[in-house]
């Protein structure tokens, strides 16, 4: 489905969780998604922002754009940005960002209504975990990328999810846990290879001092040392030859 980065925490002990599917969860989350700092969003921006501002990226497609945060960022840096998502409520929030109206579409990552070879940069941020068969999504992203275009995927690190991290958020006093899939990095690599893409770089990023303050503000100082001990984010970039 579309991208929406969860507030990743250890499952709350002794508290009931409302378990929801991808669309249900993001529909509830959409109105408050951009409110308040999120350490994973901050970490992703810290490690990816400089890599997304190349002058080569004139046309940008965000697959699973959510509320359009990366679209807004790329437009500010001069790119022609377009976004696709499966959650209407998330797209409605995106329309409120300057310059995004008319550049958004309701679509599945595995069936993009976009012509072949049109994008200099295709990004899929915090979405792979909501896609059951990532090979189809990777093939679609490769299809719409231009010759020598880039395909970048980022998501919660598979190691963190395998250790018990949950994709969850709070809304109106309830804790919602969104159903998701755990795809090892090897599955990402296999999907990209099958789509004819060539690996350019890989980042296994951990929370650092830049994110510590977000934990402090949330009253989770004690959790920082534990959560920063393992990679929190996996990001990989491929080129279409």
Mean pLDDT of 52-73: 94
What CATH number has the domain spanning 7-239? Answer: 3.40.50.150
Q: What is the pLDDT of residue 15?
A: 55
At 43, which helix (H) or strand (E)? helix 39-48
Q: Band of the pLDDT at 56, cuts 50, 70, 90? A: confident
Q: What is the pLDDT of residue 170?
A: 87
Phi-psi region of 72 (alpha: psi -120 to 50; beta: other; left: phi over 0): alpha
Q: Return the C-alpha torsion angle 86, 38, 236, 28, nearest 10.
A: -10
The fraction of the chain above a pLDDT of 70, given in percent, is 93
- Asked whether residue 125 carries a pLDDT value surpassing 80, the answer given is yes
Dump pLDDT digits (tens) for 143-176.
999 999 999 999 999 999 999 898 988 888 889 9
Q: What is the pLDDT of residue 9?
A: 43
Domain residue spans of the chain = 7-239
Beta strands in the chain (DSSP E): 7-10, 18-20, 59-63, 80-85, 104-106, 119-125, 145-156, 165-171, 174-178, 198-205, 233-239
Mean pLDDT of 213-228: 90
């Amino acid at each position: 489905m579309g991208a929406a980065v969860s507030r990743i925490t250890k499952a709350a002990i002794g508290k009931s969780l409302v378990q929801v599917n991808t669309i249900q969860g993001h529909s509830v989350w959409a109105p408050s998604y951009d409110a308040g700092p999120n350490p994973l969003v901050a970490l992703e921006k810290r490690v990816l922002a400089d890599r997304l501002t190349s002058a080569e990226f004139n046309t940008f497609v965000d697959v699973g754009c959510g509320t359009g945060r990366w679209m807004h960022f790329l437009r500010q840096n001069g790119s022609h940005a377009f976004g696709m998502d499966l959650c209407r409520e998330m797209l409605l929030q995106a329309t409120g960002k300057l310059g995004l109206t008319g550049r958004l579409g309701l679509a599945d990552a595995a069936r993009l209504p976009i012509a072949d070879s049109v994008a200099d940069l295709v990004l899929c941020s915090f979405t792979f975990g909501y896609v059951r068969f990532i090979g189809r999504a990777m093939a679609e992203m490769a299809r719409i990328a231009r010759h020598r275009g880039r395909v970048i995927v980022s998501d919660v690190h598979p190691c963190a999810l395998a250790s018990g991290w949950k994709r969850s958020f709070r809304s109106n006093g309830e804790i919602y846990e969104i159903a998701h899939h755990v795809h090892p990095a090897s599955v990402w690599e296999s999907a990209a290879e099958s789509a004819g893409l060539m690996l350019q770089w890989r980042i296994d990023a951990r929370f650092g001092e830049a994110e510590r303050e977000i934990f402090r503000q949330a009253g989770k100082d004690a959790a920082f040392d534990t959560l920063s001990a393992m990679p929190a984010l996996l990001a990989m970039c491929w080129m279409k030859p």
